[in-house]
Amino acid sequence: MNLRSFRTAAWLGWKIESNWTDPFLFAVYSIIKPLAGAAILVVMYSVITNGDFTDPLFPYIYLGNAFYMYVGAVMTGVSWAIIDDREHYRTLKYMYVAPIRIPLYLIGRAVARFLTGSFSVFITIVFGALFLHVPIEIAQVDWLLFSLSLLMGVVLLALMGLTLAGITLLLARHSDYLGDAVAGGLYLFSGAVFPLDVLPAWLRPIGYAMPITYWLELLRRSLVGSVAQAFPTLANLSNGQLLAILGGMIALAAVVAVITFRWCDQQARERGYIDRTTNY
């Protein structure tokens, strides 16, 4: 039943995400949005440095921004399924009475966004490597570290999304702000587009407490190791230590997600929030 819930939800999510237009327009949509987001940073960087893309800071910013797309895609994708099903399609109550596991259904709904997000990340990185001198050399990439880090990150984001989904069950008119607020906060504090040392000293501990910080560092190291290690923020930690920290944080995120979702789910059932619509 677990696998079936997940698989069917993934297929449903894909249909919802993609069938509003023809495949060509959908592909264009999936390319333009992320490239434009990356281009803002590229222009900002280029204006100040007169187009000096050889500085290690540029790949740091560019890759961090590219992989951060997964945060919006996976984490917000899981929690958005609650708003989409309850408020928009008004089908959440039917999901609850169907023989499926709701957490797996919600995670399955995010698979489509994971796929489109992966496409965006790929296009952005290829564009950067081809036209902006992002120094990725296929032979130098640590593929094992990259695959492991990516997998761990996706699991982490799905768990964070499940926590948000639980909280979203209890929220009404501001539930769609929740994912944006968390994603925005993570973008700012996780050193996605600037080294954590740039933050005021009193804000840095927030960055160190965020698993995304370690995840992005691992991805950068796996693709452009020497460039990523040019910044002192996490330079004194080895890849193994970073993986261990990330693994520990994933375990913690799993405990938090299970407890939070169960509690919120119970509260939502008791208060009659499962089929509530607020005309969002």
Partner 1 sequence: METAIRKNTGWRLFIQTILGRAYPRVVGMSREKSWLFFDIFLPMLSVSAYVFVYRAIGAPEEYIGFVVVGGAMTAFWMNILWSMSSQLYWEKETGNLALYIMSPTNLMAILLGMALGGLVATAQRALGIILLGSLAFQVQYALGSFWQLLLVFFLAMTALYGMGMMTASLFLLLSREAWHIANLAQEPIYLAAGFYFPIKSFNFWVAAAASIIPLTLGLDAMRQLVFPSGPALGFLNVRLEIFILVGLAVVFITAARILLRKMERLAIREGRLTESRR
Q: How far is CA 78 from CA 23, 87, 104, in A?
A: 23, 15, 10
CA dihedral of 13, 19, 21, 26, whole degrees rounded to 10:
50
The answer to the question of residue 201 lying near partner 1 (CB under 8 A) is: no
Residue 98's CB is within 10 A of a number of other CB atoms, namely 12
Interface with partner 1 includes 49 (CB under 8 A)?
yes
Shortest Å, Cβ 23 to partner 1: 14
Residue among 8, 11, 57, 119 that touches partner 1 (CB under 8 A): 57
The count of chain residues that interact with partner 1, using the rule CB under 8 A, is 38
Indicate if the alpha-carbon torsion angle 46, 49, 52, 53 is positive or negative: negative
SS3 139: helix
> Beta-strand (E) ranges in the chain?
none
What is the rounded distance in angstroms from the CA atom of residue 22 to the CA atom of residue 125?
25
Contact (CB, 8 A) for 94 and 254:
no
Residues from 116 through 175 that contact partner 1 (CB under 8 A):
173-174
**Please, which residue, 84 or 142, has the CB nearer to partner 1?**
84
Q: Using the minimum distance from each CB to partner 1, give the nearer residue, 73 or 104.
A: 73
> Does 1 contact partner 1 by CB under 8 A?
no
**x/- binding map, residues 14-43, to partner 1, per CB under 8 A?**
------xx-------x--xxx-xx-xxx-x
3-state secondary structure of 32: helix
For the CB of residue 32, give the shortest distance to partner 1 in the complex, in Å: 6
Q: Is 235 in the site for partner 1 (CB under 8 A)?
A: no
CB of 25 to partner 1, least distance (A): 9
User: Which of 91/239 has CB closer to partner 1?
Assistant: 91
Q: Does 12 bind partner 1 (CB under 8 A)?
A: no
Rg (CA), the chain: 19
Nearer to partner 1, 28 or 98 (CB): 28
